[in-house]
Chains A and B, each alone.
Chain A
Amino acid sequence: MSKKSAIALSSAPRRRKSMRRQPPGRRWWDGPWLMVGSIGVVAAAILAIIVVSQRQPTASLPSRSELATVLDQVTQVPPEVFNAIGSGGTNSRLTPDTPPTPIQGKPKVHYVGAEFCPYCASERWSLIVALSRFGTFENLRASQSSADDVYPNTPTFTFDGSQYTSPYVDFVAVETATREHTPLQRLSAEQQALMAANNPVGSIPFVDIAGQVHSVGSGVDTSLLVGRTWPDIAARLSDPTDRATRSIIGNANHVTAAICQATGNQPAAVCSSPAVVGLTVQSPSQGSGGAL
């Protein structure tokens, strides 16, 4: 046999394989398994995601009925408690914006924080208490600060997914990260400008009221909330002698006074109350709060 024909013979089967189309049923994608497998994998992934999303961050969060009671107590603090506490013995952490922004239309209260942040956790109690005097919150959820930070697992709420309606003031809240430090919400251009002008370091919590005054850090003593439960803190909000209540309501009164300045003292029932009258924006204090 010649060398040429030997090559032709040996290469014939290989060529045949490469040039001839394979008969049906031989390729890996033939048969029903690819379609069934694709549907199965997608369905399993969706199911797994739903299961993971249903897991609560901790077992100690209040139940739905407990949360409803807690929210009622936080958003409906009796007026006499505000008046009895006043400033709560603390100076306001609110300082003038540089430069103040002229108020056009309904004043805006901006909040920038994060779910992991313990100081944001304590500040939220005051903000909810104060803003509930001007409007209504919906869909507030219980949350806790990070387990790995100072004041771990501070009981609080998250503004993520909540809505606030008020005839007097708008509330724009941004939670930049979850309790697990994963990014959550972005700052708007307006908030970025406010932060750049008044809080260039970017510390949180940051609260700005109508572009007039702002605070960096918490006006509430966070240590007073650690180790306590939502129902416990909320139930004592009607007790003006409780230290945590004095800290929360005192700070809420400072915030309320600043909002009243922005709304032209509306509503009168809130802004002319003894707790608010006389509380004005003061110089920066070295209060008990902190910032991250």
Chain B
Amino acid sequence: MAESRVAQLKLSMGVHWRDVLFFLVTFLGVVTSLYLTIAHYNHLPLACAQNGLVDCAAVTQSAYAQISGTPLPVSAAGLGWFTVIAALRLARLRMEAAHLDTTAIRLAALSVGAAGIGFVLYLFYVELAIVHRICGWCTAAHVFALGAFLLTVADLQQETKGQAVESGPTVRRADGIRHLFERRAAQQRRGR
């Protein structure tokens, strides 16, 4: 009984397997970023293999490991990014459950996601072309960020399909007003 109620609630909130996967990926991203941030502030050595190309310390102790002009490590920016994009998805689910238009929030999530991926590519460039080392933990965070971004793109595209079967109050109200205008216009045409 309880299980079916939970299932009903999930259904009414529109939680899809993509949402579950998205939250899993962002959770892993948060954990990884948190680990890197804690290690940075506590000067802890990272649990990371050091063989040739892979060298976490070389990357996290490089001049590029901090956001330019601030004492903040880039992992803190990653932590913030994962939190914001997860919060946007959560807000979207709540809005959808309340039958509100979610296009704007999905587009906002896409913008945040694209900005994050741009930064990830910059960090990848720094690792390979400048520091000449790869940080395993950073790469894991980058992969999670890429996953979150692609799931955000998929979520935006899913909106169109979702709306085709959607019939919430907002849509019904809009349809009612449309019919009112069409009827009035038809009456005026007949009157002429």
Interface residues, chain A, with chain B CB atoms under 8 Å away: 1, 5, 8-9, 12, 15-16, 19-21, 23-25, 27, 29-31, 34-35, 38-39, 42, 45-46, 49-50, 52-53, 139, 160-161, 163, 176, 178, 182-186
**Chain A residues near B192 (CB, 8 Å)?**
1
* Other A-B pairs beyond A21-B163, A186-B63, 9, CB < 8 Å: A12-B185, A19-B177, A21-B171, A29-B153, A35-B154, A42-B121, A184-B130, A184-B131, A185-B62
Residue on A with the closest CB to B177?
Answer: A19
* Residue of A49, A50, A139 contacting most chain B CB atoms (<10 Å): A49
Contact A24 B121, beta carbon cutoff 8 Å: no
Interface residues, chain B, with chain A CB atoms under 8 Å away: 50, 52, 55, 58, 61-66, 101, 110, 117, 121, 124-125, 128-133, 146, 149-150, 153-154, 156-157, 160-161, 163-164, 171, 174-175, 177-178, 181-182, 184-185, 188, 192
Cross-interface CB contact of A35 among B58, B62, B131, B150, cutoff 8 Å:
B150
The minimal Cβ–Cβ distance linking B139 to chain A, given in whole angstroms, is 11
**Chain A residues near B132 (CB, 8 Å)?**
53, 160-161
Given contacts A16-B178, A160-B132, contact A184 B154 (CB under 8 A): no
**Chain A residues near B164 (CB, 8 Å)?**
23-24
Contact B174 A49, beta carbon cutoff 8 Å: no
Given contacts A178-B130, A184-B63, A184-B131, contact A46 B124 (CB under 8 A): yes
**Chain B residues near A15 (CB, 8 Å)?**
177, 181
**Chain B residues near A29 (CB, 8 Å)?**
110, 153, 156-157
**Chain A residues near B154 (CB, 8 Å)?**
35
**Chain A residues near B125 (CB, 8 Å)?**
49, 52-53
Residue on B with the closest CB to A174?
Answer: B61
Cross-interface CB contact of B156 among A34, A52, A53, A160, cutoff 8 Å:
A34
28 pairs across A/B with beta carbons < 8 Å? Answer: A9-B185, A16-B178, A21-B171, A21-B174, A24-B160, A27-B160, A29-B110, A29-B156, A31-B157, A35-B154, A39-B150, A42-B121, A42-B146, A45-B121, A46-B121, A46-B124, A49-B121, A49-B125, A50-B128, A52-B128, A53-B125, A160-B132, A163-B50, A183-B62, A184-B131, A186-B61, A186-B62, A186-B65
Contact A139 B129, beta carbon cutoff 8 Å: no
The 8 residue pairs across chains A and B that have the minimum distance between CB atoms = A183-B63, A53-B128, A53-B129, A24-B160, A12-B181, A19-B174, A49-B125, A45-B121
Contact A8 B184, beta carbon cutoff 8 Å: yes
**Chain A residues near B153 (CB, 8 Å)?**
29, 34-35, 38
Q: Give complex CA distance A183, B188 in Å.
A: 73
Given contacts A160-B58, A184-B62, contact A20 B157 (CB under 8 A): no
**Chain A residues near B161 (CB, 8 Å)?**
24
Q: Give complex CA distance A27, B156 in Å.
A: 11
